[in-house]
Each structure stands twice: as structure tokens, then as C-alpha cells.
Structure 1
Amino acid sequence: MERHERIKAARARRFDTAKEAAESLGVPYGTYSGHESGSRGVKDVDLQLYARRFGVPLEWLSLGLGSIDESQVNVVTLVGRIGAGAQIDVGVEQIPEGGEQIETVMPLPAGAIGFEVAGDSMWPRYDPGDVIVCTAQGKPLDDLYEGEEAAVRTTEGFRYLKRVRRSTTRGIFDLESHNAPPMRDIRLDWASDVLAVIRAGKWRKLSDGERRRVARRAMGVSHP
């Protein structure tokens, strides 16, 4: 099932027609119908909206992982690396098309994404090679609580795993480490809770064949 077919299948769970869905979503009909037909590219922000409003897992809608009805999966998209000391240049969207998948030892919420920890400034809480699991859509910056450990992305395009402290200016934060000097007055444009930590050695990357089988299972096809 292609992505646009998954969008149509998800929409049919809540709305009889694409026109009804577009009106409810506040999306121009031509834009939405193009997403359903596959004639228009769809942005990550649109997929997040559709997954939320249609009541389906974002991981399934975006990448075809799991199934339309799954609430938890043992496969998560490894989006990239996150700096716990190391400075990671994002360079790509939070949910790239066809990201790398890993298998974990525990079930995770559908729609979660993973980041591999790089650097040791958050040791002993996190080690290089650990994977932190976050929500793809993140959380409003105003909802970050004082002292929360979070995955963050700066407006300059760098991604970190830090403890966040609010400054007196809205949207500006101090980022603290366990064993490195704090970063002061950093402006953020994305942040997410740390839902889970998968320790190094407790996860593995799926092979191309395994990824294809995961996608087939999402469509109910059992043959290899």
C-alpha cells in the first residue's frame, strides 16, 4: 500500500468523502485530494495532522510500519543521532521519507521515533549508542516543565539531549548536562519528551528484507 493509499484508507475511517475530510481539517480540497490521489507531495506536518484526526498511528501512515489499528509496535524509525555533548547538525526533517528502522526489546507507542545518542555529556544517565524514543510531533515548548530531560532542536539546526531550564524570554532556554558546562540562552524550535531509553546492545537495525516484511505485514500479506 502506497502512502497516498494509506491516507485514503485512514480518512475512510472518519469521513465518507475527501471533501468532507478537507473541510473538517481546514485544508484546501485540491491539496487534500492530491494527497489522497498521490498527485501531490505531502509534508510531515500534514501527516501528523491526518494521523491525529483520522485516529491512526503516524508510523503506519507515514512509513507503512505496523498496522492501521496497532497501538504499540516493536519497530521504531531511527531518525538520526542526537548530541549528548556532540553537536549534531539536523540537516533533514524529523521524519524523513523511508527512515531506518530498528527492532527494540520492548513495545513502543505507534508513531514514536528514535535518536541514537552521541557524546557523553549526559553520562551516566545516557551512554553513546543508547536510543532515546520520542514522539514525532514533539510537544509545545510552553509545555516543557522546569528541569525536564528532553530531545531538542535549536533554531540553528542542531539537535541535543539535555535538561531544559526556562529563561526570562519566551522560547529561550538554558540546556544543562550532567558533566559539561550549561549552554545558555538557546532558542528552540522543537522538543519532545523522552518516552523510553533503549540501551546500546538492546536494539538492532532491520535489514532491507526485514523492512519489506514489516511493510507486508501491515498490508496483511504473509509470504516472504
Structure 2
Amino acid sequence: MLNVVEVKYPNGLQEAMERAGVSGSELARLVGTSRQNISRWAAGSRELLPAMAEQIAPYLDTTSASLLLLKSTEKFSVPLGGKIVGGGAIDVSTEQNEPGVEYEIELSVRVPDATVAYQVVGESMMPVYRPDTVIITRAHTQNIEPLVGKELAVATVEHGRMLKVVHRGSKPGHYDLESFNATTMRDVRLEWVARIAAIIPADEWRIIEKRAQTRDRLLKPSDRPRTRTQRS
């Protein structure tokens, strides 16, 4: 006779860990909890609460809704603010800025306090941020000091938008910007910072063109045919 183990609190944590190649001990270290807690959540013997699911999700390249096995048919849109990078500075001047056209990101889950979305570009973010991931941020602020030490979306005066851990610089009004796999940028001036509300994998969003009353689906940049200039 087979013993059937009842899963009291089913969730998607174990599957997400396997897909991301992250062990229980490594995930425990990243989120600041015990290996036993991770094991119990993954096994479904202890409830994975929404606040912890939101904390875990970025490290597994997924969403808290996916970890909690939440399904939603309601579409949720966030204005698209353009591109953002996580490593060294790259040119983001090729963004779509056609007069009279606005762009939105359409999601299948609602993100509380979502203000604007930025599309991750470039290869330097891997494995933390993969190309075509979308970062949903809360409101921009110039009150930077309370957020020192956190990973934020930032707009720099000289290097464009980036995803960085912000530290105090060597002089007032300047900040050191640390990334996962790029050299720390020293004494950078910032225009604004924004807290990250959610990290949305590439297959869980679509871009919407909003021209007057029309809404058309567009191809993500990585799916668009490359021009002869881009190939060279």
C-alpha cells in the first residue's frame, strides 16, 4: 500500500527552484531565512505567505503570483517608461518615441503600487535579469537617502537608466552604484530612484501600442527581425 503525502499548502516554489537552478540552502541565504523554512514551504507543509513569495520571486526569475499558484484572467496595464540596464552603461537612445503614441505593458497579474515599467536590455544582467524581463517600479523619488543600500531603478545624470544597489558616494549628492556583475560606478549623480515592485519574466507580459483608441500588440525587441545595420 502506497503512503500518500498530503500537501497542505500547495505552491510553485519547488518547481521554480528547479527551473532556476537555485538550491534550498542558496535561496535561504539570499532571502535571509533558514534552510528548514525553504524545505517546508517547497514541500507544502508550511504556508508560503504572499510577503515572502514577493521576496523570493526575483531570485527565481518568476512572480509571487506564480509561486502562490494564483491565476487571473484580468489584464493589468502599466505605462512603459523605456529601457533599463543592469550592468555597465549602454545606449538607450533608440527607444520608440513616436509623437502621439504611448506604450503600455500588459500583465496577467496586478502589481500593487505599480507606477511605470522598464524593459531590461543587454546581456550584462544575466543571470539576475534576462533580456526582455520587465521591471515594474513604484513612484520615482529624489529622496534617495532612506533607500541607500537597496537595489533600485535609477536615472543617472550622465549614464541613463540602470538597475543598481545604491550606496553613498565620497561627496554629498553623489552615489556609488553597485551591480551583480559589473564594476561599481563611483560618485554618480542621480536624477531619481524608484523601488522595484515586481520582476516579470519575458513570457508573462506583452507590449501594447496605444494610438488614439487603438491597442495593437507589438513584437518585443528580441523577437523583431534584425536589420542589416544591426547584423553588422
Instruction: Please report the TM-score for the alignment, with normalisation by the length of structure 1.
Output: 0.53
Shift of 1:73: 7.1
Q: Can you list the C-alpha shifts for 1:118-142, whole angstroms capped at 9, x where unaligned?
A: 1233322211110001124335112
Q: Could you tell me which residue of structure 2 aligns to residue 103 of structure 1?
A: 106
Structure 2 residue identity aligned to 1:160: M
Q: Percent identity?
A: 36
Give the gaps of 5 or more residues in structure 1. 1-71, 214-224
Residue 214 of structure 2 is aligned to residue 194 of structure 1: no
Q: Could you tell me which residue of structure 1 aligns to residue 116 of structure 2?
A: 113
Number of positions where the alignment pairs a residue of Structure 1 with one of Structure 2? 139
Contact 2:114 2:136 (8 Å CA) reproduced: no
Q: Could you tell me which residue of structure 1 aligns to residue 133 of structure 2?
A: 130
Contact 2:135 2:196 (8 Å CA) reproduced: yes
Structure 1 residue identity aligned to 2:79: T
Give the gaps of 5 or more residues in structure 2. 1-73, 216-232
Correspondence for 1:206 among 208, 214, 231: 208
Q: Can you list the C-alpha shifts for 1:100-150, whole angstroms capped at 9, x where unaligned?
A: 01211210236510000012333222111100011243351122222x111
Shift of 1:98: 5.4
Structure 2 residue identity aligned to 1:124: P
Q: Could you tell me which residue of structure 1 aligns to residue 151 of structure 2?
A: 149
Pair 107,144 (structure 1): closer, same or farther in 2 beyond 3 Å:
same
Q: Name the larger-Rg structure.
A: 2
Shift of 1:187: 0.9
Correspondence for 1:81 among 80, 83, 86: 83
Secondary structure at the counterpart of residue 172 of structure 2: coil
Alignment of 1:1-224 (within 5 A): 74-85=76-87, 86-89=89-92, 99-109=102-112, 112-138=115-141, 140-146=143-149, 148-156=150-158, 158-208=160-210, 212=214
Q: How far apart, in 1, do the equivalents of 2:132 and 2:177 lie?
A: 21
Pair 173,103 (structure 1): closer, same or farther in 2 beyond 3 Å:
same
Shift of 1:171: 2.0
Contact 2:114 2:137 (8 Å CA) reproduced: no
Q: How far apart, in 2, do the equivalents of 1:156 and 1:180 lie?
A: 17
Contact 1:91 1:157 (8 Å CA) reproduced: no
Pair 108,131 (structure 1): closer, same or farther in 2 beyond 3 Å:
same
Q: How far apart, in 1, do the equivalents of 2:152 and 2:124 lie?
A: 14
Pair 132,139 (structure 1): closer, same or farther in 2 beyond 3 Å:
farther
Contact 1:114 1:133 (8 Å CA) reproduced: yes
Instruction: Please report the TM-score for the alignment, with normalisation by the length of structure 2.
Output: 0.51
Contact 2:79 2:115 (8 Å CA) reproduced: yes
Pair 169,154 (structure 1): closer, same or farther in 2 beyond 3 Å:
same
